[in-house]
Structure 1
Amino acid sequence: MVRFEGVVKRFGDHTVLDGLDLRVGRGERVTLIGPSGSGKTTILRLLMTLERVTEGTIHVDGKPFSHMPAARDGSLVPADEKHLAGTRRRIGMVFQQFNLFPHMNVLENVMEAPVHVLGLSRDEAAERARELLDLVGLHDRLDAHPTRLSGGQQQRVAIARALAMRPDILLLDEVTSALDPELVAGVLDVLRDIARTTDITMLCVTHEMGFARDVSDRIFMFDHGRVLESGPPEQLFEAPEKERTRTFLGAVR
């Protein structure tokens, strides 16, 4: 579903991703772990087109994403905004910050993008929103505005909003890092339910190692913009090959 081939991302003289080759299968749950600054979030930002690759290519569902065929000869050239927008609709992202519309209630926040981006009728969007808000345990807060919700509730609204776009790929960027500790478990339980009951491809950046172990098919350990090692959770957590991985896991567990 997602393929990075030789992807380099630089900010000035600083290389954040260094020749990244990464593949994620359809319906696979992949978690990216590693120290801050190792390039994990940059991968998600490239898929959300918040950043552009410096070198290399990204493919989504077997088709060029970061690039597109040139009209002249079919060779790949950097994608224009129209090309990116077409594929980006298939990708949802939940950020560290909730970014809800403060003037809209919970139901309206979840309905907004499906109506204006997907072209759903308001009735259809409302039905879909109610189903998703029930999924995340907020069926009784439809009329509440974000300021009347806890941080954990706001993040659950943000998850429902991402799912309302019917994405094939869901990106999760440290979605519990802005929450008080007592609110983390509820949000992670919602994400576990989504992983268990849907076939959405998931890429997750987290420091919650228990969650990573529970939901992941594979875990990638990053350091200095490269994949240090990868494998299923039981392998990477119980018998990591690299000393750097062992040190990192010892610090975050």
Structure 2
Amino acid sequence: MSPDTRPAHGKDPARPSGEPVRLERVTKRFGDRTVLDGLDFSVDAGRHVTLIGPSGSGKTTILRLLMTLAEPDEGTVTVDGERLFPASGKQVREVRKKIGMVFQQFNLFPNMTVLRNLTEAPVTVLGMSRDAAEERARELLETVGLTEHLGKRPGQLSGGQQQRVAIARALAMRPKVLLLDEVTSALDPELVAGVLDVLRDIARSTDITMLCVTHEMAFARDISDQVLMFDQGRVIEAGPPEKIFGEPERDRTREFLGAVL
């Protein structure tokens, strides 16, 4: 199955064109278990695509491939028109710069201030000047509502605040694609809403391409242009959120949504 991740009404001319993410015939195995099974799909530029499905269905593995934390056994992965897999080590490193990811865990540098957490990679990896990186970091901290905390270290922040710093840090690299992997799963329930509100604002106010794995179905319905239902390493149903959540075609999709909604 090769799902069309464009909305039913066609491409929005205000959004950028192209396909920042394309997977072709991608297979990934862990031992005898096939996690991705000849997977084909692409994401149009500026679209927000959410992957849903049961645990172990292959959703997070896709993000790990795009982050180069794993390699496919078969098939090709392309980001912004450039080959990510298979490719040379140098090519992989260059393409990887176009991808940002926010993990379940915050993965902040505990010995650095919030500001330094945002500026370190742009300076050392992208070669930005320290002044330009700090200006960008201050703008992003304002976006996520943490300007007053820029001089603190992660241990002085709540879990929700740390995750907002992690979101800002990913955006500081000006990625073409932002990957979100269950970004609220490690948070206390009362902190989830604030993080999701930040992501909603980013989805609505920027043209960044977003690929999201989440069990927060209301959030998925709210921000997504397209929802892909995964089961046993394949996309079994794809469509706009109103269709997937309102009138799913597959029994497996209805069964899954009945369990999580």
What is residue 163 of structure 1 aligned with on the other side? 171
Query: C-alpha deviations, 1:146-191, integer Å up to 9, x for none?
Result: 1110000000000000000000100000000000000000000000
Equivalent pairs counted in the alignment come to 242
Amino acid at match of 2:146: L
Task: Select 1:239's aligned residue among 247, 255, 260.
Answer: 247
Matched, 1:122 2:141: no
Amino acid at match of 2:178: L
Task: Select 1:189's aligned residue among 197, 200, 205.
Answer: 197
Task: Select 2:96's aligned residue among 64, 81, 88.
Answer: 88
What is residue 56 of structure 2 aligned with on the other side? 37
What is residue 144 of structure 2 aligned with on the other side? 136
Q: Distance in 2 between matches of 1:49 and 1:105?
A: 27
What is residue 11 of structure 1 aligned with on the other side? 30
Residue aligned with 1:132, SS: helix
Q: Distance in 2 between matches of 1:175 and 1:49?
A: 19
Deviation at 1:60, TM superposition (A): 1.7
Gap regions ≥5 residues in structure 2 = 1-19
Amino acid at match of 1:207: H
Residue aligned with 1:65, SS: strand
Which TM-score applies when normalising by structure 1? Answer: 0.94
What is residue 65 of structure 2 aligned with on the other side? 46
Moved more, 168-177 or 119-128: 119-128
Gap regions ≥5 residues in structure 1 = 68-78
Query: C-alpha deviations, 1:71-113, integer Å up to 9, x for none?
Result: xxxxxxxx12101011110100000000111111111111110
Matched, 1:210 2:218: yes
Q: Distance in 2 between matches of 1:22 and 1:32?
A: 12
**1:39-78 superposed matches below 5 A:** 39-67=58-86
Identity of aligned residues (%): 71
Which TM-score applies when normalising by structure 2? Answer: 0.92
Q: Is the Cα–Cα contact under 8 Å of residues 80 and 176 in structure 2 kept in the other structure? A: no
Residue aligned with 1:140, SS: helix
Q: Distance in 2 between matches of 1:180 and 1:52?
A: 33
Amino acid at match of 1:138: L
Deviation at 1:244, TM superposition (A): 0.9
Q: Distance in 1 between matches of 2:111 and 2:240?
A: 43
Deviation at 1:61, TM superposition (A): 2.2
Q: Is the Cα–Cα contact under 8 Å of residues 82 and 95 in structure 2 kept in the other structure? A: no
Query: C-alpha deviations, 1:25-45, integer Å up to 9, x for none?
Result: 011110000000000000001
Instruction: Could you list the structure 1 runs, at least 4 aligned residues long, displaced by more than 3 angstroms after superposition.
Output: none
Residue aligned with 1:203, SS: strand
Amino acid at match of 1:28: R
Q: Distance in 2 between matches of 1:94 and 1:178?
A: 12
Amino acid at match of 1:21: D
